[in-house]
Homo-oligomer: A and B are copies of this chain.
Amino acid sequence: MNIGEVAKDSGVSAKMIRYYEQTGLIPSAGRTTSGYRTYTGIDVQMLRFIRRARDLGFQVDAIGELLALWRDRSRHSADVKQLAQAQIGRLRRKITEMESMVATLDHLAQGCSGDDRPECPILADLEGEDSRVAPACHSGQGFNR
């Protein structure tokens, strides 16, 4: 299989497949004499795995760990579970943070008349009124997608 077909079958773009190879997330593909990358059904499976993990918000380095466990026949399911729970924790933290942003914004927006007058509590708050609504935890490491 060429890269295009694998891309279609796995849902991972050809660009990304090359990138994953380059960064070492996936092993280097075989090559035809003319230099084309060649793939098998196992590769499609692996790329689907990656895509699915990304859809669940895993970062690439965490996916690397998942892949290692996936390949390891003697893995302990506890290790997989731990990675999943770490991801759940990251997601929950991020959700909490964003919910606090929504709460703040919502409160401000409700106080705003939303007409043609210039007075606006939203701007007033941003400007630094000390009547802060929520502490707006700004925070930790970046997040994907």
Footprint of B on A, CB under 8 Å? 45, 48-49, 52-57, 66, 69-70, 72-78, 80-82, 84-85, 87-88, 91-92, 94-95, 98-99, 101-102, 104-106, 108-109, 112-120, 122-123, 125-128, 136, 138-139, 142-143, 145
Contact = CB atoms under 8 A, between A and B. Distances in A.
Contacts of A76: 115-118
Contacts of A80: 112, 120, 122-123
A67 to B, nearest CB: 9
Nearest to A137: B55
A119 B73 CA distance: 9
B77 A120 contact: yes
Most chain B CB neighbours (cut-off 10 Å) among A74, A119, A122, A125: A122
Contacts of A120: 69, 75, 77, 80-81
Contact of A138 (B112, B127, B145): B145
Nearest to A63: B126
Nearest to A87: B105
